[in-house]
Structure 1
Amino acid sequence: MNALPERQQAQCGDYRLSWREAGQGRPVLLLHGISSGSASWLKQFADAALLDGHRLIAWDAPGYGDSAALANAEPQAADYANALAALVSHLALRQPLLVGHSLGALMGCAYGAAHPDGLCGLALADPAQGYASADAEKRRQVFAQRRQMMDTLGPQGYGEQRAAALLRADADPQDIAWVRRGMQQLQPDGFLSAAWMLANDDINTYLARYSGPLQVWCGEQDAITPPAAAEALAARQGAPLRLIAAAGHASYLDAPACFNRYVRDFTGAIQP
């Protein structure tokens, strides 16, 4: 695997946050999912064509990497969005493109709702949509299943058991190993706070307050947030759906050339 930019850390307002960055140009904020972190974007940082004209910033959400956990152990996406706003302010980013993967898509939508004029666009990749509209028993199950996995397996066992599920059926073994490594570095408390948010929030609540440029991307072999769900989300929002061939849930790893082209296409279609 290619070398990643070194993780940076700073006190950003009320939040101690860490991130990685490389490149120059239009800022692109990469928001990882529930089982990942800033290191998951190594194939984006390794793409010279993407770095040419883009400043890539991959954060560690609160409770991940070297980012301190949120004060509230049962947060909503808006709580993560507040932390993201602190990072945007600290780095003096102007009109970034937000690319949110899986649960990062829900966080990105919350940021877009709070700062509708602060983005050049929002890309929802393999988006997790949240379960707030489900009944109480379903919401309880969503959280309890993840808590049980973390309690019984710990990050080490969780990575061993779940890594391959994030990728396509014939995934590169190196990609599986990279996903496993990221899972095994999870902080249980940070993971469980994010799991609570997944179980008790809803992406549609935030998208109702965002009217800027929006695209939905999804791996054709995504078994975690399937294309049909992504298609329904895109249809509700009147947004284009762009499928990613030969890709599972972690589409940015399975098919980085296509994923990175979608990033370039999105920013290229937006006026400076």
Structure 2
Amino acid sequence: MSAITADEAAWLAADLPPLQRQVTQPSGSVIEYREAGPSNAPAIVLLHGVGSSSAGYRAQFAGLSDSFRVIAWNAPGYGGSTLLAEPNPTALDYAAALAGFLDGLGLARPAVLAGSSWGSVIALNLAVAQPERVGALLLSAPNTGRGSLPPEARAEALAALRAKPPSASDDRSAVAERLLTSDTPQPVRALVERLRDALTPVGWSAAMHMMFTTDTPCLIARAQGPVALLAGTRDRMAPLEAHAAKLHAARPDAHLHVFEGCGHMLKLEAPARFNAILRAMATGD
């Protein structure tokens, strides 16, 4: 991939907004989140991937909060966010949790709902279940889900994944190697190695189950409003041909943005282009 620019380097080095807590009454459940930008500006809501957290959107907080209210949650079961009550949650359970989070923020309809990887699955499920809540939809390194597998194959695959949960002792450089490319600049690699700090085994296990409850190519045609798909040509976690291309085939009017030479973490690998796409969608350009 190409070297990062001076602006991108500054965004990647910027301080994160502090974590805030949204407490739901009377249940007392908590959602942690970060927020930056004017409270009355159009809102961009960002959903992280299965091995990440709100901290993965450092470059979006720094690069977009001049004009937008930028919000990123720690999904249920991540960091200090309360795990969903359902031990084997579906994609719609996460979508409902997201809807409740948006209600708590007073956001009836964000300008853009953006999700990376696993977050793209949550975003798409909310956009289909409650289309009035989403102005535009951005799916980065999107995942098709595994809900189309036959029941027996689905159960076997999920059991195999759950048998090897991630832990804090995992080699983070090896994890980053799978997500990035061999020539990813060191500042990006260093950030990616730290993104597992909010990952919990129970949160990860619930997220894994969710991925086997949905088939996003069957959903995307039902999403209303503008849809953008972002995919890296060197993404080994969600290869373009197996994921974004299938979604694009199911929704030909979606704008497919191909990031040459990039891996799975487009928001950090190519933040200037990522932010430009988000900005254009949020302003309707």
Give the TM-score taking structure 2 as reference length: 0.87
Counterpart residue number, 1:33: 49
Percent identical among aligned pairs is: 34
Of residues 12, 20, 26, the one that matches 1:8 is 20
Counterpart residue number, 1:247: 262
- Aligned ranges for residues 90-109 of structure 1 at < 5 Å? 90-96=104-110, 97-109=112-124
RMSD (Å), alpha carbons: 1.8
Of residues 144, 147, 171, the one that matches 2:184 is 171
Over 3 Å counting, the alpha-carbon distance change for 1:195 and 1:264 in structure 2 is same
User: Aligned partners of 2:158 and 2:190: how far apart in 1?
Assistant: 26
Over 3 Å counting, the alpha-carbon distance change for 1:184 and 1:142 in structure 2 is farther
Of residues 161, 170, 175, the one that matches 2:174 is 161
User: Aligned partners of 1:12 and 1:218: how far apart in 2?
Assistant: 35
> Quick check: 231-240 or 196-205, which moved more?
196-205
User: Aligned partners of 2:232 and 2:216: how far apart in 1?
Assistant: 19
User: Aligned partners of 1:265 and 1:168: how far apart in 2?
Assistant: 27
Of residues 188, 204, 208, the one that matches 2:217 is 204
Instruction: Confirm or deny that 1:256 pairs with 2:271.
Output: yes
Runs of 4+ off more than 6 Å: none
Instruction: Confirm or deny that 1:136 pairs with 2:151.
Output: yes
User: Aligned partners of 1:18 and 1:240: how far apart in 2?
Assistant: 31
Q: Letter of the aligned partner of 2:281 in structure 1?
A: F
- 1:208 Cα deviation from its structure 2 partner: 4.7
User: Aligned partners of 1:62 and 1:68: how far apart in 2?
Assistant: 5
Contact 2:48 2:56 in 1 (8 A): yes
Counterpart residue number, 1:58: 72
Q: Which runs of 5+ in 1 are unaligned?
A: none
Over 3 Å counting, the alpha-carbon distance change for 1:69 and 1:258 in structure 2 is same
Q: Which runs of 5+ in 2 are unaligned?
A: 1-12
SS in 1 for 2:133: coil
Contact 1:9 1:19 in 2 (8 A): yes
> Quick check: 128-137 or 176-185, which moved more?
176-185
Deviations 1:200-223 (A, max 9, x none): 322234435422221111122211
- 1:193 Cα deviation from its structure 2 partner: 0.3
Contact 1:110 1:206 in 2 (8 A): yes
Over 3 Å counting, the alpha-carbon distance change for 1:265 and 1:56 in structure 2 is same
Contact 1:101 1:124 in 2 (8 A): yes
SS in 1 for 2:169: helix
User: Aligned partners of 1:259 and 1:100: how far apart in 2?
Assistant: 12
- Aligned ranges for residues 61-80 of structure 1 at < 5 Å? 61-80=75-94
- 1:156 Cα deviation from its structure 2 partner: 2.5
Deviations 1:60-100 (A, max 9, x none): 11001211000112111110111111111111114211001
SS in 2 for 1:3: coil
- Equivalenced residue count is 266
Give the TM-score taking structure 1 as reference length: 0.91
Over 3 Å counting, the alpha-carbon distance change for 1:262 and 1:145 in structure 2 is farther
Contact 1:103 1:127 in 2 (8 A): yes
User: Aligned partners of 1:177 and 1:32: how far apart in 2?
Assistant: 17
